[in-house]
Structure 1
Amino acid sequence: MPSGADPWDRRSGEWLTGDLAEQGPGHAPGPPAAPAPPGAVADARSERKRATGPRRGSGDPVKALLHRHRELCERAVDPLEIAAGLEAHGVTDRTATRFRHRDVFSLAEELYARVPRNAEPRPEPAPLPAPRVRAGWVLLTLLPGALGAATVTGLRLTHGQPRPLVALGGLLAVALATRAALRHGPLAGPSGARAWRTATAPRVWRTATAPRVWTLWLLGYALVGDGLLHALLTGGSDAPPTGSPDGPWPTATAPVLALLLACAPAAWSAHLLAAGARRRLARSRGLEDFTAAVKPLLTGAFALFLAALGALLALCGTVLHEPAASAQALTLGALLLLARLLTVHRHRHAPALALGAAAATEAAALALPTAGRLPGCAFLTTPVETLVGAWGEAAVPALACATAALALLWHAGRTLTRASAHAPTGAPQ
């Protein structure tokens, strides 16, 4: 072996110890010496690493990422926990390619391997706490439907001047009950999101106000929108709505009551999704495995809600002797559920856009016939008249809500199937 050679034999993958490591060229190997102590071997390896530099060089991007997320990497019990944390901080598969990895989980595996750990085996990760069923939120989800049924009954039993008072009191009571149902239980979001809302109250207040306004508009249109559109297209009565299905503006109470009663199925669907995702997060060992397991869970929860809403629509239509308006009520219910699920799991931008687009479409359908009455603007009424003539007034909200719901369903399939959406901690997105 040449003089001054490294005592590490690259061919055999072993350390040359004793006289063999010290001999020059032409010397025969002497008797085997005792192996070097483990401490000396470790010191030699450390010296070699210091001499050759970092594995990826001084510009190692993974090393910089490791420094930023060292606490996350040190407390993680497996690479999946690191991957979920990276996703929660906005690291996507496209971002992982800048770190020379094909996806987030591959990057998380390297981070997990590069963090020094004790020789003692780490304990198995404890299952994440699954959401519990509490009597409080179960009763709160039943309250909007109960107050809505009481309001409809009061409108049916009263006539004349007391009717507006009953309607106003009922709307106020239903609004407060719905607010309480959305602030507790599965529809309220995790505690981490609440803390984040407190820390960024002004910005989140602006983000949350728009969806509330759009939701109120959509529910109001479901109540009186079809009758108002019919009156605008046919030049009907200009009298205000009376709250009865046979008035100048027919009021569709059956679909709205069914939507209020559907608060309970919506909460249970959100609970089943959250509980199932937490269990799968504890058992999965890769992001792809978790996504494959959660996709059918999301689809099942969504289908369960639609089935329950369809049954409630049929029941309310039969009891109130009104058309169930299944098409627009089902699409509106799907849109509201998906928007709430995304909001609960810290995705607020897409729901606001979808709800706003649906509300704007309905508002345009009412504005175009009104603008068409101006001289020379009759052509503005043509798109609405064509749609209503082919499918009826219900086609406007059904088309608007169905398009927005499909967009949110596609978005939910990409975001709610990620591990970071169901992790107990993480920054909101």
Structure 2
Amino acid sequence: MSELRWDGPEMSGGPECGLSGLDHGFSRPEGSVRTSPEPEPAPASGGGAVDPVKALMHRHRVLCERAVDPLEIAAGLEAHGVTDRTAARFRHRDVFSLAEEMYARVPRDPETPPERRPMPPASAPSGGWAVLALLPGALCAAAVSGVRLTHGQPRLVVAAAGALAVALGLRVALRRGPLRVPLGTTGRGGTWTCWLIAYALLGDGLLVAGLTDDPDGLWSLATAPVLALALSCAPALWCAHLLSVRARRKIVASRGLADFADSVKPLLLGVLALYLCALVALLALCGTVLDEPAVPAGAVALGALLLLARLLGVHGFPHAPAVVLGAAALTETGALASVFASRLPGCSLLAVPVRTVTDTWGPGAVPTLVCGIAALLLLVHATRTLTRASAHARPPGVT
């Protein structure tokens, strides 16, 4: 096997144009935007002196030099648009086989071979995130207890302080572990998430107050859904950890990108179902303890939406979650605004759509429909993006 030299002329575009940041250890610079990969050009035919694999290595020079195992090269090629069909034009059965040859042909010092990254264990997570995952639920339970034990102005003070404490606790819990997103990608998504949770706490009461002209609804708080969502932070982190570890194991076992995608799709759906089962159990428990509706469907849909949005952000797809979360938050806000705007002279028709929905299925139907449709959109997107090998090339958020 001939030795590859890097001092030759580089191909058009050079390594800077490849892999959208994956050439540099699979990390994206802050503020970067994922672009659609361009398919790899077919190797030149004819002329036995042409080495198409060597030309491909020149194109992805930095990736090949920095890769610690063939899996990183395979994931990087896939992110750049190389498919198993493309690999066949390089006389390889799949991208994994092509990556193995590229990895083997990279010149290295034989006395200091690179160490291969060990696979993450399926249990015993490090970094203390498993303990921090309990913090949002504990703070929310304390805040709910304070709200239910106070009245009048002190109740508002306790509610505001509790909301701030829960937000800070959630921020601490998600800064480490498998749900930590890259810096600079949480701004808009975090704002819309807070807005959706605020609607889960206050929205139904405000909606009823606007439709029935009952001022008591303005102070009605649905604490059980918010408490259950805060407590579900722990199972969400464990489910994300399970997805990350099992997906990387499937990369090793798979012999093609299509094979990997087919094996990860049921894993993704199973992890989501596992989290929803835990959330439903927590909703039932909190509803029983707090004497509120046991399992509001809107809270289940919101939990699925938030988990999918976070998973997509963690694995490098933050744009779609931000758009979908923003659309869901604005839709719920528009529903409330239309109800209160209908009180203006000549504007009674504005509340007809919301009134029709609430009269048929109740006030909880608004967040159920909005968050349910948004979660379904993100699920479709996740089954197309989180089933790529490049999305699991490195365990996300593990410190």
Query: What TM-score do the two structures reach when normalised by structure 1?
Result: 0.72
Where structure 2 has 5 or more consecutive residues not aligned to the other structure, the ranges are 1-43
Separation in structure 2 between the aligned mates of residue 255 and residue 425 of structure 1, nearest angstrom:
31
Q: Distance in 2 between matches of 1:222 and 1:250?
A: 11
**1:257 matches 2:243:** no
Task: Check if 1:72 corresponds to 2:63.
Answer: yes
Q: CA deviation at 1:101?
A: 5.1
Helix, strand or coil at the partner of 1:354 = helix
SS at match of 1:266: helix
**Is the contact between residue 273 and residue 297 of structure 1 (CA under 8 Å) also seen in structure 2?**
yes
- How far the C-alpha of 1:295 sits from its partner, in A, is 1.6
Distance 1:231 1:80, change over 3 A: same
2:375 & 2:150 partners in 1: Cα distance?
A: 37
2:30 corresponds in structure 1 to none
Q: Which moved more, 1:390-399 or 1:284-293?
A: 284-293
Q: 1:388 to 1:79 in 2, by over 3 A?
A: same
**Aligned with residue 354 of structure 1, among 289, 299, 324:** 324
Structure 1's 116 and 144: CA in aligned 2 closer, same or farther, altered over 3 A? closer
Give SS of 1:187's match: coil
1:82 corresponds to which residue? 73
Q: Deviations over 1:169-222 (max 9, x none)?
A: 211111110000110111114xxx4xxx4xxxxxx3xx5221111111100000
Residues 127, 279 of structure 1: 8 Å contact kept: no
Do residues 221 (structure 1) and 221 (structure 2) align?
A: no
Residue 304 of structure 2, aligned match among 295, 319, 334: 334
Structure 1 residues 218, 92: CA separation in 2 closer, same or farther (over 3 Å shift)? Answer: farther
Farther off after superposition, 136-145 or 260-269: 136-145
Q: How does 1:123-138 map to 2 (within 5 A)?
A: 127-130=118-121, 133-134=125-126, 136-138=128-130
The C-alpha deviation readout for 1:393-416, integer Å capped at 9, x for no partner, is 111100000001011111111111
CA contact (8 A) 2:94 2:255 kept: no
C-alpha contact (below 8 Å) 2:283/2:294 kept by paired residues? yes
How far 1:158 sits from its partner (Å)? 2.0
Q: Alpha-carbon deviation of 1:289?
A: 2.1
Indicate if the aligned counterparts of 1:291 and 1:417 stay in contact, CA closer than 8 A. yes
Decide whether the 8 Å contact of 1:358 with 1:401 is kept in 2: yes
In the alignment, is the contact (CA less than 8 A) between 1:128 and 1:282 conserved in 2? no
CA deviations on 1:40-96 (whole Å, 9 max, x unpaired) are xxxxxxxxxxxxxx74569998765431213434676886543201234x42659x7
- In structure 1, distance between residues paired with 2:50 and 2:271: 46
The verdict on how the C-alpha distance between 1:392 and 1:69 changes in structure 2, with shifts beyond 3 A counting, is same
Task: Please give the residue correspondences for 1:108-257 in structure 2 after superposition, counting only pairs within 5 Å.
Answer: 109-110=97-98, 113=101, 116=105, 127-130=118-121, 133-134=125-126, 136-189=128-181, 193=182, 197=183, 204=184, 207-237=185-215, 248-257=218-227
Cα deviation 1:208-261 (Å, max 9, x = unaligned): 221111111100000010010111112222x7xxxxxxx653210001100000
Provide the C-alpha distance between the structure 2 equivalents of 1:324 and 1:209, rounded to a whole number of angstroms. Answer: 33
- Is 1:279 aligned with 2:249? yes
**Distance of 2:55 and 2:348 partners within structure 1:** 64
Shift of 1:116: 4.2
Scaled by the length of structure 2, the TM-score of the pair is: 0.77
CA RMSD of aligned residues (A): 3.3
The alpha-carbon distance between structure 1 residues 101 and 352, as it changes in their structure 2 partners (threshold 3 A), is farther
TM-aligned CA deviation for residue 281 of structure 1: 1.8
Distance 1:74 1:56, change over 3 A: farther
2:255 counterpart SS class: coil
- For 1:311-330, what per-residue CA distance to the aligned partner results, in whole angstroms no more than 9, with x for missing partners? 00000000011113420010
C-alpha displacement at 1:355, in angstroms? 0.5
Report the residue type matching 1:136 in the other structure: G
Could you tell me which residue of structure 1 aligns to residue 12 of structure 2? Answer: none
Partners in 1 of 2:289 and 2:315 — Cα distance?
36
Contact 2:284 2:295 (8 Å CA) reproduced: no
Alignment partner, residue 379 of structure 2: 409
1:392 counterpart (348, 362, 365): 362
Per mean C-alpha deviation after superposition, the further-off stretch among 313-322 and 296-305 is 296-305
- Aligned mate of 2:271, from 291, 301, 314: 301
Change (3 A) 1:285 1:172: same
1:387 Cα deviation after fit: 1.0
Secondary structure of the structure 1 residue equivalent to 2:302: helix
- The answer on whether the counterparts of 1:76 and 1:82 sit within 8 Å (CA) in structure 2 is yes
- Unpaired segments of 5 or more residues in structure 1? 1-53, 198-203, 240-246
Which residue of the partner structure matches residue 336 of structure 2?
366
Q: How many residues align?
A: 346
In structure 2, distance between residues paired with 1:387 and 1:141: 37
Once residues 147 and 93 of structure 1 are traced to their aligned partners in structure 2, the CA distance between those partners, rounded to angstroms, is: 48
1:47-66 equivalence runs, <5 A: 55-56=45-46, 65-66=56-57
How far does residue 124 in structure 1 lie from its aligned partner after superposition?
11
CA distance in 2, matches of 1:248, 1:353: 29
